[in-house]
Structure 1
Amino acid sequence: MRTVIVFFAGNERGGAAAHITTHARTVARSEKRHHYHFVSLGDGPLTASVVSTSVKSVVIAAGAVGGMRQLKQYLRTIHNPLLHAHGPRLNILAALAAKQVNVPWTSTIHSHPYFDFMGSRLKSRIYPRLNIWSLQKAIGLFVVQSALADALPVKTVLDVPNAIDLPALQEPREAYATQLKERLQLPLSTRFIGMAARFDPVKNIDVLIRAIAKLTSDDTHLLLAGDGPERQTLEALVSQLGLQDRVHFLGFLTDMPAFYAALDVHVLPSKSEGTPFSMLEAGHYGVVNVGSDIPSLRELLRDGEAGPVVPVGDVESLAQRLDELSQNETLRQRYVQNFHTQVLPHFAPEKMLEAYERGYTVLEEDILRSGRY
């Protein structure tokens, strides 16, 4: 078996970071652990998470030039490597480095490549094109959601499920909700709708904020965990709608289980998604999910059986669903039960590792047929 060099950005956050951390934890528990090296471009919270799993890990320079130079040096020290990148910027570096040292490479695609970098007009014109160019050089690609395959410029596309490997709550969910209400100085009767995401146009957070303004109950508040280029725009929208007392920007959080446990409803109104960890985590901790009606979320929520789906960008429909769910605990629990029985069993960590191992076997056949390495 080749040595798999998992290449990622040390400061990565969100779903891709959770995917990589779960992969590292599962590798650390497996018999194949000696066939994996995890290489971090720069240091950061994801680096710390991966290092804590005890897998073989290396940190290289954060800059593009120094990072690529050190990556090439590292690849030359490994017998029979397969470089496996995560993320658009890392794909570009991986394609360049792999070509110069003549090693095969692959990537896991976590989101639609044409919807990345929507928060910047300049970056959205340059980086997606560079990313697609780099992906054309890969021996094959993994996708966390099969619908992403249509956007990829390679013949070999392999499915790999996201997976969750989460700690149990130390207290009942009600305790976390109470703690957060006290911290925000809100009445104990307050209900929480929440979303954890990067603040990017593809996430449609503005749609969720507008839906909050249309709720019939004033004691339902919105919690937004995360940050990003859209923050100032979203804060301005909150002020414009007079929602300053009902929309709370919490920033990046380190204790995500406590965040999800405090919610009554979790929402993801995105224009595009892979298989979002936020929904898996929220559902795992007993929170009902609401998603936009896009292929990946409709599939994850089992066509509405494991959580409602609403038309993309439809503020009125979203507000109606949130009103209904926030006031009906029986309905919420029915969706949560369906999510636990119909969805979560498909996202065990071992299934992720098995899918990667099968995929590497397929890629090895492509490598041998190509005669390039």
Structure 2
Amino acid sequence: MRVLHVITGLKVGGAELQLYELVRRSRHECEVAALYNAGEVAEMISEAGVTVHDLGMSSNTEISALGRLRSLMRARRFDAVHTHLYRSCVYGRIAAWSAGVPVIVATEHSIGETHLERRRMSTGVRLLYLATDRCAHTTIAVSETVAERLRQWGVPGRKIRVVPNGIDFDRVTFDPAARSRTREELGLSEHHRVVGVLGRLDPNKRFDLLIEAAAPLLDENTRLLLVGDGPERQRLEGIAREHGVADRVVFAGQRSDVAAALSAFDLFVACSKQETFGLSVLEALANGLVALYTTCPALDGVDTDRAVEVPGDPEGLRAALRKELDAARPRAQVPRLRELYGMEAVTERIDGLYERLLAKRKEPLDRGTAETAETAAGPAAGQGVHG
């Protein structure tokens, strides 16, 4: 099969890295189209031997991009189109339907209680999403939490399949050499106890809560390390100064070496207000760390004392931090995670879904008559083509 993945952008992010892992493992012939921001992950995908098309959109309402995307789909004669993230679902599903692509699939990576991918859930956003959903056969939800929110939104339950995000366990394994190197780069020594977080610095991650909770615990031997960048950085730096711990909170900025960053930590914390999966928590556990978290749907049904659910208030979080810092538990693995979330198994499930849908699909999708995954399973557009 020939499969085109359409994604909003390819800067470093959870959905973008999931796509990279998927296309380099798929048994099908994959290509990728980015609406805009074909950044670092685009280079990674190209280096893996997968063609990347940059649609070169300059605004979110560039309707002419629909024509470019449709032309690409027709010219390359794809058997399936798989869209990722809100904006690409809107453009990609319409383009695929109008191009007569036999199989149209979307993955919903991040739908919260009040926001969709950091976009407030307005009536207009919801209606546009649901309208373009009529062009697709299946929506993949990365967790049962996401599936339930999609049903509440109005996506027919019969069209939803739950396939979790996957983890490349080799990519996030503990690396003692990388630990020493990363700590040296960041001005940390081996005797420091390092509480670490990994993710975009935005309000949903509530890193301000973590700084407030951790501040009384940070001393000559204890540091807080924030790996990531985003619009909250300046405010968070100010909060660290207000609490008198600016010299004990390290802002590492964006880093693509996830294993090295995790290896530099001694304790991992995720204190998001909302989560649809919780990939960073799983990656921390795969690195051998103990992880404190406020919400992580991916851990539902996973019995382990290596992941500790904690309160979402400064006092409760501080007590949990103090307990784990005093315990100083060594690294250890959670074997069940590999069984549930190994990237190879996740890719196999998605590849199989394409095949089953194509086997059932003899004609292009007609408007409003999308067959569901439940039934199915029992030289154009590419401006700046890379790879």
RMSD: 3.0
State the Cα distance separating 1:172 from its structure 2 match.
Answer: 4.9
Cα deviation digits, residues 22-75 of structure 1 (max 9, x gap):
101212xxxx333x3222334211111111111344333233445433211111
| Identity fraction in percent | 27
Q: How does 1:121-270 map to 2 (within 5 A)?
A: 127=125, 130-152=128-150, 153-154=155-156, 155-165=158-168, 167=170, 172-173=175-176, 175-215=177-217, 217-270=219-272
1:286-365 correspondence runs (5 A):
286-294=288-296, 296-299=297-300, 302-311=302-311, 313-329=312-328, 331-333=329-331, 336-337=332-333, 339=334, 341-361=335-355, 363-364=357-358
**In 1: Cα distance, 2:330 partner to 2:83 partner:** 38
* Total equivalences in the alignment: 356
Contact kept in structure 1, 2:285 and 2:307, CA below 8 Å: no
The residue aligned with 2:380 is none
Match of 1:58, SS state, is: strand
CA contact (8 A) 2:279 2:298 kept: no
Q: Which structure's relative contact order is higher, taking Cα pairs within 8 Å and 6+ residues apart?
A: 2
Which runs of 5 or more residues in structure 2 are unaligned? Answer: 368-387
1:58 aligns with 2:53: yes
Aligned match of 1:94 in 85, 92, 95? 92
In 2, Cα distance between equivalents of 1:227 and 1:125? 30
What is the identity, as a one-letter code, of the residue corresponding to 1:344? R
CA deviation vs aligned residue, 1:203-243 (integer Å, no higher than 9, x gap): 12222111112427552211111111222222222222222
1:46 aligns with 41
Unaligned runs of at least 5 residues, structure 1:
none
User: How high is the TM-score relative to the length of structure 1?
Assistant: 0.83
Q: For residue 379 of structure 2, what is the aligned residue in structure 1?
A: none
Q: Distance in 1 between matches of 2:293 and 2:357?
A: 34
Q: Which structure: greater helix fraction?
A: 1
Q: Counterparts of 1:270 and 1:160 in 2: how far apart (Å)?
A: 22
CA shift, 1:308, in A, is 0.8
